[in-house]
Amino acid sequence: MTDLFSKFDPLIEQRETLLDSGVTDPFNLVMEKVESPTVAVCNGKRTILLGTYNYMGMTFDPDVVAAGKKALDEFGSGTTGSRVLNGTYVGHRAVEQALKDFYAMDHAMVFSTGYQANLGIISTIAGKDDYIILDIDSHASIYDGCALGNAQIVPFRHNDIEALEKRLKRVPEGAGKLVVLEGVYSMLGDVAPLKDMVAVSKANGAMVLVDEAHSMGFIGEHGRGVAEAQGVIDDVDFIIGTFSKSVGTVGGFCVSNHPKFEILRLVCRPYVFTASLPPSVVATAATSIRKLMDSADKRAHLWENSKRLHSGLRQLGFTLGTDEPQSAIIAVIMPDLEKGAAMWEALLNEGLYVNLARPPATPAGMTLLRCSLCALHTDDQVGEILGMFAAAGRATGCIS
């Protein structure tokens, strides 16, 4: 018998080597208590959270929490069914209406996760004879959506407008074309040149899907994302998003103005063949989305936090993923996994949680300490964070 697990041996060995060095397992941390969007207790210690996707700090918003409790009392703990059978409650319709209002679009379809939204929409609209032209650094859920639909996949170099154009021109005449882009790329926190990319895609007869998972709520005048900030939202055919980041709960969605969009509810397998979100989740999401419409002050503070952390880390001597802060994500590039894990642990001991990211999630084989800021991080907390980076960086030899 061939042990089907033998393919994991290199990873098992790499993991054992890392843990044998005595470092805390960076992929097995337990939050013992979560006090707020920015503070938790880990290993019995008060820890500032700088590695969540809680960009707008909605998880403890009193209105959001109250809406969830009310729905739990009134509708129970779960729907136990698909959206197309017994799993559509008034709350599911309400959250779809909140999304339509938020994006000012005609249609909104809610999935159980953002992963499933990409899986479902991409695989359903781009099938066997169609072409998907996508940025090579696309999220795993985008690649998995492409694979599920069996379309021809044509990757192009990250954020390279000319490469996108070249690939588009090579697609056979008459074939269906879907260009898939992200607003913010979550590993380095860099933004896509959507204005030019959407123009090039449209000029070459392609439909465009933009995943705005890491920009919703924060980027753009109304928080609609990078497509809004760059003035091309009306030319984007499909926006994918998630409730697991700025919205502060769990779930995924697609919004669109396509006149035939609603048919997807009957043909999209990751929408049909799974249970719908619990009533408490859709109630928290709807309340949060409506509050995000009116959050300009929080957006401004989050930009301030991002700029201050970026310049502070740079001054300390760290190498960052972008020259300028472009989003709420600031990636600190580590020389290798060992140094990255040591720095991650030193920060945790200081009382700071960040994400340790490594291949295959990261581009170009990089090890990253990913910092994601929250609109509720105070000025004092950002100061504390910089102090912790200075201490941990010197202790591990990452900076002098």
Ligand X SMILES: Cc1ncc(COP(=O)(O)O)c(C=O)c1O
Binding of ligand X by 342 (CB under 6 A): no
Binding of ligand X by 228 (CB under 6 A): no
Binding of ligand X by 139 (CB under 6 A): yes
Binding of ligand X by 179 (CB under 6 A): no
Supply the minimum distance, in Å, between the C-beta of residue 378 and ligand X.
26
CA dist., res. 154 & res. 185, Å (int): 18
> Which listed residue (213, 331, 376, 382) binds ligand X by CB under 6 A?
213
Start-to-end CA span in the chain (Å): 53
> Which listed residue (47, 186, 201, 256) binds ligand X by CB under 6 A?
186
Binding of ligand X by 141 (CB under 6 A): yes
CB nearer to ligand X: pick between 154 and 240: 240
Distance of CA 257 to the CA centre of its chain: 23
> Which listed residue (26, 57, 248, 252) binds ligand X by CB under 6 A?
252
Tell me phi and psi for residue 245, to 5 degrees: -120, -105
Tokens 């909140």 belong to: 98
Binding of ligand X by 112 (CB under 6 A): no
Which of 109-117, 156-164, 334-342, 374-382 is the region at the interface with ligand X (rule: CB under 6 A)?
A: 109-117
CA dist., res. 267 & res. 300, Å (int): 41
Distance of CA 175 to the CA centre of its chain: 30
Which of 41-49, 54-62, 111-119, 375-383 is the region at the interface with ligand X (rule: CB under 6 A)?
A: 111-119
Binding of ligand X by 370 (CB under 6 A): no
Classify the C-alpha dihedral 293-296-300-302 as positive or negative. Answer: negative
* Residue 203, both tokens: 């000029």
* Residue 33, both tokens: 């208590």
Cβ atoms of 223 and 293 closer than 8 Å: yes
Binding of ligand X by 115 (CB under 6 A): yes
Binding of ligand X by 242 (CB under 6 A): yes
Cα separations (Å) of 380 from 110, 251, 298? 38, 32, 16
Cβ-closest residue to ligand X? 114
β 329-334/367-372 pair status? antiparallel
> Which listed residue (52, 159, 230, 244) binds ligand X by CB under 6 A?
244
CA dist., res. 264 & res. 253, Å (int): 12
> Which listed residue (190, 211, 237, 350) binds ligand X by CB under 6 A?
211
Strand partners of residue 256? 107, 238
Identify residues 258-287 at the interface with ligand X (CB under 6 A): none
Binding of ligand X by 118 (CB under 6 A): yes
Supply the minimum distance, in Å, between the C-beta of residue 116 and ligand X.
7
Query: Binding residues for ligand X, per CB under 6 A?
Result: 113-115, 118, 139, 141, 182, 186, 211, 213, 242, 244, 252
